[in-house]
Amino acid sequence: MRCRLLTASVLAIAISGCATQSPQLLSQESVHSQQSQVEAQKLATEASIKHPVLKRKVALGRITNETIYGKSLLRDDKGDVLGKQVTDILSKALTESGQYLVFERPDIERLKDEAQLTGKALNLVGVDTLILGSLTEFGRKTEGERGFLSSSKKQIAFAKVDLRLVDSETGLVYHSLSGAGESSSESASVAGFGSKASYDGTLNDAAISNAISDAINKLAVEIQTRPWHTDIIAVEDDLLFISGGKSQGLKKGMILDIETKGKTIKSKQNGFDITLPGKKIATISVHELFGDNETNEGAITKVVSGSIEGLKYADLNVVEAKQ
């Protein structure tokens, strides 16, 4: 009897020594109400828009899978399933960021077919930047530990995307970037009890999404460094109508400058067209905004100082006021 009790005690000590349990997570309510958190986020968003934001027109070109994963002899180049997935996720991320006008290119043939069915002409818009790139790294690994009566297993997926921004007029690659991300899941069991994890395919999608999010964050930093400008679309009496509205950061009372478009000269050194600096001729103030979406938004402005009389407004640029 004593021998059985001793054996049971030793076994209990062994189990407690080998079993590793994660600490229980306790939920805790925030000290701030949900309403106050929403208001704080709204104020932070408004404070971040200190300057007008020029939404660049972008389109996705060739986005392919250059890794071994997802390829087989039964698929041709047009059956790049993973490349199409990267394209869709990237298009969604660019659109949701609110900093770009994203135009369809991968499925443009379907748009043409639909236009023929409706009998309407397809009014395609050219873009400023064509985004090209590929999924250059992708892999999975499994890590784990095994004790006397306990075991743990961790599945990790890693992805990396490389993108480059190409000027649609010159073909110049003016910026390139990379984004990396990973996703993981973990399970543990003690003496045969606990969670058991099989192959988790959702980790692949999460890793790719995280890599694209990282790339979009880097892309936003580069885009914000580019100067904002717009054009005058109409002049009526003493009112000037310009392109761009709320979605581009324009507000009532905002002060903007009007400059002449500088002369464009072709450089013999590098072969590119160089635009000479324009001359400031007037200052305007935003009086009112109109339009209901980013494609038809505009602003009504009034001249505060200077004059554009006698000048063709097609030869003028509206730029951010210099401090």
Instruction: Give the CATH number of the domain where residue 182 resides.
Output: 3.40.50.10610
Please identify, among 207, 223, 239, the residue that sits at the C-terminal boundary of a domain.
Answer: 223
- pLDDT reported for residue 241: 96
- Tell me: do 198 and 62 sit in the same domain: yes
Identify the bridge partners of residue 301 per DSSP, sorted by sequence position.
Answer: 240, 286
Element (H, E) at 219: helix 202-223
Answer yes or no: do 214 and 259 share one domain. Answer: no
- Residues of the chain with pLDDT > 90, as a percent, come to 19
> Do 119 and 190 fall into the same domain?
yes
Note whether 185 and 72 are same-domain residues.
yes
Q: What is the mean pLDDT of residues 227-247?
A: 89
Rounded Cα distance, 292 and 279, in Å: 33
Could you tell me if 258 and 124 lie in one domain? no
Strand partners for 160:
137, 180
The answer on 268 and 217 residing in a single domain is no
Q: Which of 26-35, 47-56, 112-121 has the lowest mean pLDDT?
A: 26-35
> Is 26 a member of any domain?
no
Reported confidence tier of residue 281, pLDDT bands at 50, 70, 90: very high
Kindly report, residue by residue over 157-202, the tens digit of the pLDDT. Answer: 899 999 998 888 888 898 899 999 988 877 665 555 455 555 566 7
For residues 10 and 263, the model is more confident at 263
**pLDDT at residue 6 greater than cutoff 50:** no
Boundary of a domain, candidates 223, 250, 274: 223
- Of 77-81, 112-116, 122-126, 286-290, give the lowest mean pLDDT range: 77-81
**Count of domains for the chain:** 2
Q: What is the mean pLDDT of residues 249-254?
A: 89
Same domain, 155 and 171: yes
115 and 213 part of one domain = yes
Residue 29 has pLDDT above 80, yes or no: no
The CATH number of residue 270's host domain is 2.40.10.410
**Statement to judge: residues 139 and 259 lie in one domain:** no
pTM of the model: 0.66
- pLDDT at residue number 299: 95
Q: Who wins on pLDDT, 91 or 151?
A: 91
Mean pLDDT, the chain, rounded, equals: 77
Instruction: Give the residue among 323, 254, 250, 231 at the shortest CA–CA distance from 289.
Output: 250
Within 10 angstroms of residue 262's Cβ, the number of other Cβ atoms is 13
DSSP E strands, 168-248:
173-190, 193-194, 229-230, 232-236, 239-243
C-alpha 148: how far from its chain's center? 47
Model confidence at 27, pLDDT cuts 50, 70, 90, reads very low
Q: Check residue 252 and give its pLDDT.
A: 92
The DSSP element (H or E) to which 132 belongs, if any, is strand 129-146
Of 223, 254, 287, the one marking the end of a domain is: 223
Higher pLDDT, 252 or 34: 252
Match 């507000």 to its residue by tokens: 251
If asked whether residues 63 and 196 sit together in one domain, one would say yes
Check whether 10 has a pLDDT greater than 80.
no
Same domain, 251 and 275: yes
Residues 143 and 291 in one domain: no
What domain range is 98 assigned to?
50-223
Joined tokens for residue 271:
């072969």
